[in-house]
Amino acid sequence: MKITVIGGGSTYTPELINGFLARTAQLPASELWLMDIDKERLDVVGGFAQRMVQAKGAPFKIVLSTNQREAIAGASYVCTQFRVGQMQARREDEYLGLRHGLIGQETTGIGGMAKALRTIPVMLDIAKDIRETAAGALLVNFTNPSGLVTEALNRYAPDVQSVGVCNAPYNAKMSFLELLQNNSPEPIDPARVELKTLGLNHLTWHYGLTLDGEDVWAQVLESYLQDAAQEEHPEWESALIASTRMIPNYYLQYFYHTEKKLAEQKKYPPSRAEEVMQVEAELLHQYADPSLTEPPADLMKRGGAYYSTVATQLLASHFNDLGETHVVNVRNNGAIKEWDPSWVLELPATVRRSGITPIPAAPLPPFAFGLLAAVKSYEILTAQAAVTGDRNTAYQALLVHPLGPALPNAEKVLDDMLETNRKYLPQFC
């Protein structure tokens, strides 16, 4: 079996390699292709990956390629984890936000919009190569903004099987499991726990947790509120949790605590991208060490906890037809019958070889749905703008986003966004 990783030069890749090495019995890959357009970086990361695999007895072959079509041809799974424009483009997104007093984070607000406009055409080109050279392959997308990119795939490449994946739901599950663990004398296997969550990627509300199928959410909320009461600056106000009986995804901080997040941006430099650039430079230096065969401790500074766990567990469940429940980004298809069936949502789904099926659930209450509907409208418009290069559509996407510019500034912000990203947005030229 051939598995392909587009964006194989990412500093995350060694963690992903460890995930595949830990699951060779479940995922009997013969070849793992790492593809990247940056050959110099691919040689460093890929060379390290080859040493890692060799040190474990070479259960599969690592193949390096700068040819996307060649890398995809004949693959059973294509995992995408690339960044158009690399980290410098992320830095530009952050300072774009700073210039206009708006959120410039890489998945949320105008930063996320700029990244989506750059990314979607490339992702659809990958889908084209899958269609023509690897029919039936599953595209597993980690590229941010994951939900919006998966929305575009479902609308503009519906014949290619795709699923969007993020490590945030798994991180939430593990944090809630830690709250349960405080009152349990025995260790709790994460496989016994399932998270109930609903919304869009980076815009979800967690509303339940089960342990061996038993609802333990009341215990989680009680422990959460007790801990929050002891903190000087808790992540969420107790009144919000007590009122809604839900815990928002961390990224909702950008919507509920916007002024706080804008104040943090005013401290640039360094921006988060600039911090990551420094971390990555050091990681690449370590990866180039010919004696290194295990991921260095500094990889944790890069973020992305549980990334390899989420990725490889999903592939193993699909390949082995396990029917496990995973939180993913997939087309609604009536699972939330009150909502548009064409929307891509982030929610628990059953993963089988025959497909990934969202599990039916009740809709979010009105206070949450209002925000979700606005952001979904933005996603649909942004995907359309990325495909068509239509300036009016991009302008309307800016207007509908809750974190977008005020009307008098919208054209100025759009002009700046398009000019800053000119070389990555030929569809707008």
Own/partner pairs for 25-31, CB < 8 Å, 24+ apart? 26/316, 26/319, 26/320, 27/1, 27/3, 27/312, 27/315, 27/316, 27/319, 28/1, 29/1, 29/2, 29/3, 29/60, 30/1, 30/2, 30/60, 30/61, 31/1, 31/2, 31/3, 31/60, 31/61, 31/63
Rounded Cα–Cα distance for residues 6 and 383 (Å): 21
Contact at 8 Å (CB) between 215 and 208? yes
Rounded Cα–Cα distance for residues 32 and 415 (Å): 41
Which residue among the candidates 12, 170, 207, 251 is catalytic per the annotation?
A: 251
Rounded Cα–Cα distance for residues 78 and 83 (Å): 16
Q: Which residues contact 348 (CB under 8 A, 6 or more apart)?
A: 194, 195, 196, 197, 325, 326, 327, 358, 359, 361
**For this structure, is 424 an active site residue?**
no
Catalytic residues: 251
